[in-house]
Structure 1
Amino acid sequence: MLSIVASLLPILLALAGGWVLAIFISPELRRRLVKLITPFIWLLLFSIGYEFGNVLGALNSARESALTALVFALLTTAVPWLLLSWGANATVVRPTSDRQGLAGIIPPLKECLIALLALALGVGMYHLWGAADGSGFGWPSTSYFLYVLIVLVGLDLYGVRPDPSWYSLRTLKIPAMVVIGSLLGGLLAAWATGQPLAISLALSSGFGWFTLSGVMVGHHAGEAFGAMALLTDLFREILAIGLLYSLGARRPLQCIAAGGATSLDSTLPIVKQKCPPELLPVALVSGFLLTVIGPLLMVFFLTV
């Protein structure tokens, strides 16, 4: 429980800090600061890629662990997507004059490629410099970029007031389908990879929170499974980033679900950028609930 509070508190404080800061600065300065969200997203993606390279470099059997983790990530992302797609009103299309055909595909494709390029550059940077001397050449922690981004999102949220729709069945359906779909995906992944059932369900319960799932699974099941949990949730986050950039405007609820617990933190700025603005509270509520539920499910499956 303390680990959940310790992880949630900085995020909530950063959101509140951005909102309070907006009271004391001019609207023009606020608009200029909000424009920094996009370049900071690229920095965050680069840093995530750097950490990904570090994780792969530290694994003794990187290929086998990465392939197993990829199977878990794909299935725990795909099954909730399908469950939400079968539900009513799962698709929300942004009411703008988006161009149709090839011209309408190019902008999201370009942004998705930029995101993947930032991740790839981070991985490459680790292998060129960080892996050579083990020092990481002083690259800042991903958390620093994340908290700056959350403050900027808090600035952009200034003036938003909670309303009953935040706690409606339509909103709560997202985390519910993520939990159910992730566990079903974990069962399929256990069958496909031959991993123990309890471990597979624990691997499926991180909901993209790789910094916590790797530690928790590693503590209860050993370092090999801990690394697999970390990679599973890291892959889930990378998949969510790609889906948000490519389909966030047309399938926002499914893309928010793909983000899992990260829709409260690292993918929240991308949700703000790519999904309809009225769905930002959905991402906040869903991410918050999954952040609380995930560790409880992992502990349950790892100790039964």
Structure 2
Amino acid sequence: MTIIATLGPLLIALLFGYWVNIKLFTPARVAKGLEQLVYLILGLIGFSLGALDNLAEKLFIAGYQALVFFALISVISLTGLYLSGLRFGGTHADSLAQGPSDSKTHALIDALKTIAWVIGGVVIGMFAKDWLTGVDELVTGLLYVLLFLIGCQLRQGNHRLRKLFLNVQGVIIALVTIVTTLLAGWIGSLILGLSWNQGLAVVSGFGWYSLSGILITGLGDPVLGTTAFLLDLSREILALMLIPFLARLNSHMSVGYSGATAMDFTLPMLGKFHGAQIVPVCIASGFIMSILVPILIPLFMGIS
């Protein structure tokens, strides 16, 4: 019952935005609303974190946990993706040209902005925790709005489920990435002394740092939410740096390690090194992982 109560409303909000076309929510408004809402929720996450007792100790714990999960995911996922690329015909980069620097700069600026909002929230939480109440309930309410807008954006991007699931390479990459990432999460839970479902939940962001930390914190665990945020933020930044090298080995490694961001942030870099033919693969793989993030995290967090 806990799983249904946790997952049900969030999934309904996502599917409502995906299936129902409300003219008021134009692509420009949805994109702007998502950007502002994500920053607001990240600030509230920072506030919840700053309001915790023994903050320095819990930040150290979150950072250490993120480092362990990050190392495991990098080793296990890249190994699995290398083998799947050999077995299922992953393509190689055609040249060693440098990727578009503007995409790198844009991603790094976004990362700095999100960190700034979280830090700002932490500072306010440290000094105003006795003045502001009901923050956790507010975050939960905003989560429903966030997932509704994400559903709208997926529909407006003309991402048709059937077409995406018929892209064989994209599906293979997504499945290998998901399985190896969850395996890394399970092993990480054993190393860190977490429950198995906490380990699976924290790695189920697949690089989508602006959602994974929000979901886990909104579901009642700000320390684990901070771990997920740091883990996925590090993964996106490293993916941008590694794509030129991974692309020389095979496309499964470069696309798969990019995770959910293969359909947006890292897509320009992937297209640069693999050519236009990789774009449908990136969108299919990134979409499958993106659609699973708001399903898997509440699912695992709802298991007692």
TM range (shorter): 0.5 to 0.7
Give the corresponding residue for 1:67.
63
The CA deviation at 1:65 is 1.8
**What root-mean-square deviation, in Å, do the aligned CA atoms of Structure 1 and Structure 2 show?**
4.4
Decide whether the 8 Å contact of 1:50 with 1:126 is kept in 2: yes
Q: How does 1:55-134 map to 2 (within 5 A)?
A: 55-59=48-52, 60=54, 61-78=57-74, 79-88=76-85, 89-90=89-90, 100-101=97-98, 104-134=99-129
Deviation at 1:150, TM superposition (A): 3.7
Q: Which ranges of structure 2 fall in alignment gaps of 5 or more residues?
A: 206-211, 248-253, 272-278
Change (3 A) 1:108 1:136: farther
CA distance in 2, matches of 1:151, 1:244: 27
Cα shift at 1:297:
5.8
1:163-207 deviations in Å (ceiling 9; x for gaps): 37447475055234323343235425744xxx33xx253332011
Structure 1: runs of 5+ lacking an equivalent: 219-225
Cα deviation, 1:113-142, whole Å, max 9, x if unaligned, reads 211121122023314545432366999855
Deviation digits for residues 133-165 of structure 1 (CA, Å, limit 9, x no counterpart):
23669998553455334423422227x472374
Q: Is the 8 A contact 2:67 2:231 kept in 1?
A: no
Higher RCO structure (Cα 8 Å, ≥6 apart): 2
Within 5 Å, which residues of 2 pair with 1:224-303? Answer: 226-242=221-237, 251-256=254-259, 259=260, 270=265, 277-278=279-280, 279-289=282-292, 292=295
Could you tell me whether the CA contact under 8 Å between 1:80 and 1:182 is conserved in 2?
A: no
Indicate if the aligned counterparts of 1:175 and 1:289 stay in contact, CA closer than 8 A. no
Q: For the residues of structure 2 that align with 1:118 and 1:213, how far apart are their CA atoms?
A: 20
* Greater mean deviation of Cα atoms: 180-189 or 104-113: 180-189
Q: What TM-score comes out, normalization by structure 2 length?
A: 0.64
Provide the secondary structure at the position in 1 that maps to 2:162: coil
Summarize the Cα distance change of 1:136–1:35 in structure 2 as closer, same or farther, 3 Å threshold: same
Give CA deviations for 1:258-300 in whole Å, capped at 9, x if unaligned. Answer: x4xxx7xxx9765788766523333333344565555666677
Provide TM-score, normalisation by structure 1: 0.64
8 Å CA contact 1:202, 1:298 repeated in 2: yes
1:157 lines up with 2:158 in the alignment: yes
Q: Percent identity?
A: 13
| C-alpha distance in 1 between matches for 2:38 and 2:96 | 28
Tell me which residue corresponds to 1:222: none
Cα deviation, residue 234, structure 1: 2.4
Deviation at 1:64, TM superposition (A): 3.2
Q: Once the 2 structures are TM-superposed, how far is the Cα of residue 85 of structure 1 from its aligned partner?
A: 3.4
2:96 & 2:41 partners in 1: Cα distance? 32
Q: Contact 1:252 / 1:275 at 8 angstroms: preserved in 2? A: yes
Please list the CA deviations of residues 242-265 of structure 1 after superposition, one character each: whole Å capped at 9, or x if unmatched: 356666796233212xx4xxx7xx
Partners of 1:34 and 1:156 within 8 A in 2 = no
**Residues in 2 aligned to 1:168 and 1:6: alpha-carbon distance in whole angstroms:** 31
Instruction: Tell me how far apart the structure 2 counterparts of residues 131 and 252 of structure 1 sit (CA, whole Å).
Output: 40
* Paired residue total: 264
Q: Which residue of 2 aligns with 1:221?
A: none
